[in-house]
């Protein structure tokens, strides 16, 4: 939960109290939560949201639900404090181990990630005979299966999930926070411009198989052009004119002299 939301919730846990907050009170609450930019805009947005018409409960029910909402940030604060205390204790214990300097010498892992790596791999040098065993234990080694002429390379499902999870943190920390792999990234850490996606090809209309050699056009009786329509519109599409697309000569072409064909 963001600090601004926790501060506003602590100031007015019930809808009636939130609607009664003034702009000055909202600005002071946001500044107290640590916000430094866009205070007026955020205060105006919160005031408009709090005073908008919405479905409400009975006043006593709203007060009870507001009391319950106030207990949630207290539980969150207690959980955050416990997590910070555990983080400090884990970092202090990890720094006392003789292998702490070796693990943190790699680009990326800090005290917490290094403590997880040490806890999952252990400090026994004879546990893994070679690097491939440790790589397979972490789930970074692919699985190759071959049977006859078929060969497949897939990811490893049986692995140490906790060590595999810290591997992702290790990789992202090395790319973002460690100065060692920074030359491997684009110069000056510039964001590459977004690639322009090519326009989606328009699906062409289905082609009629009229130009296929030896194909005969079949028209249902219900689709045929009425006789009276053909007589009233001499230039209309008739079966004779359609048949010329199939390679059959037009009646006018049959009567033309051979020199003009």
Query: What pLDDT is stored for residue 183 in this prediction?
Result: 59
Query: What pLDDT is stored for residue 94 in this prediction?
Result: 93
Segment (H or E) for 122:
none
Confidence of residue 56 (pLDDT cuts 50, 70, 90): confident
C-alpha span between 93 and 96 (Å, rounded): 5
| DSSP single-letter state for residue 36 | -
Whether pTM exceeds 0.85:
no
- Cite the DSSP H helix spans in the chain: 3-11, 15-19, 23-32, 39-50, 59-95, 100-104, 111-121, 131-138, 161-176, 227-232, 239-245, 251-255
- Bridge partners, 152 (sequence order): 145
Q: Which residue has the higher pLDDT, 249 or 118?
A: 118
Cβ atoms within 10 A of the Cβ of 137, count? 19
What is the tens place of the pLDDT at every residue in 199-211? Answer: 555 444 444 444 4
Please state the rounded mean pLDDT for residues 28-35: 88
With contact defined as beta carbons under 8 Å apart, do 99 and 86 qualify? Answer: no
Segment (H or E) for 145:
strand 143-147
Percent of the chain with pLDDT over 70: 68
Query: What pLDDT is stored for residue 17 in this prediction?
Result: 87
Please state the rounded mean pLDDT for residues 136-146: 89
> Residue 253: pLDDT above 50?
no
Least confident of 13-22, 86-95, 184-193: 184-193
| DSSP single-letter state for residue 33 | T
Query: What pLDDT is stored for residue 83 in this prediction?
Result: 92
Q: Which residue has the higher pLDDT, 131 or 211?
A: 131
C-alpha span between 113 and 122 (Å, rounded): 14
Domain locations along the chain: 3-95, 100-185, 221-260
Average pLDDT, the chain: 76
Query: What pLDDT is stored for residue 170 in this prediction?
Result: 86
Query: What pLDDT is stored for residue 174 in this prediction?
Result: 82
Q: Return the biggest CA–CA distance within the chain.
A: 107
What is the tens place of the pLDDT at every residue in 183-242? Answer: 555 555 555 555 655 555 544 444 444 444 444 445 455 545 455 544 444 444 444 444
With contact defined as beta carbons under 8 Å apart, do 219 and 208 qualify? Answer: no
CA atoms within 13 A on the CB side of 21: 29
């Amino acid at each position: 939960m963001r600090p601004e939301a926790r501060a506003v919730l602590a100031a007015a846990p019930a809808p009636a109290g939130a609607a009664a907050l003034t702009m000055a009170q909202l600005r002071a609450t946001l500044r107290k939560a640590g916000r430094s930019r866009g205070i007026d805009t955020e205060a105006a947005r919160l005031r408009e949201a709090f005073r908008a018409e919405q479905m409400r409960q009975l006043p006593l029910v709203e007060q009870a639900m507001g009391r319950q909402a106030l207990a949630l940030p207290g539980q969150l604060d207690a959980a955050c404090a416990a997590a910070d205390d555990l983080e400090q204790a884990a970092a202090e214990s990890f720094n006392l181990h003789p292998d702490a300097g070796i693990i943190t010498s790699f680009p990326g892992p800090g005290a917490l990630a290094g403590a997880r790596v040490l806890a999952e791999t252990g400090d026994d040098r004879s546990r893994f005979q070679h690097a491939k065993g440790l790589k397979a234990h972490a789930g970074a080694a692919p699985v190759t299966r071959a049977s006859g002429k078929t060969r497949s390379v897939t990811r490893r499902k049986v692995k140490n999930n906790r060590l595999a999870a810290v591997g992702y943190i290790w990789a992202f920390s090395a790319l973002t926070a460690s100065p060692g792999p920074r030359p491997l990234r684009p110069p000056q850490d510039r964001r590459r411009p977004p690639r322009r996606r090519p326009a989606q090809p328009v699906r062409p209309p289905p082609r009629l198989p009229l130009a296929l050699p030896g194909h005969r056009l079949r028209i249902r009786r219900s689709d045929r052009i009425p006789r009276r329509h053909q007589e009233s519109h001499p230039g209309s599409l008739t079966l004779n004119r359609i048949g010329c697309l199939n390679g059959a000569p037009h009646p006018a072409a049959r009567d033309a002299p051979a020199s003009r064909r």
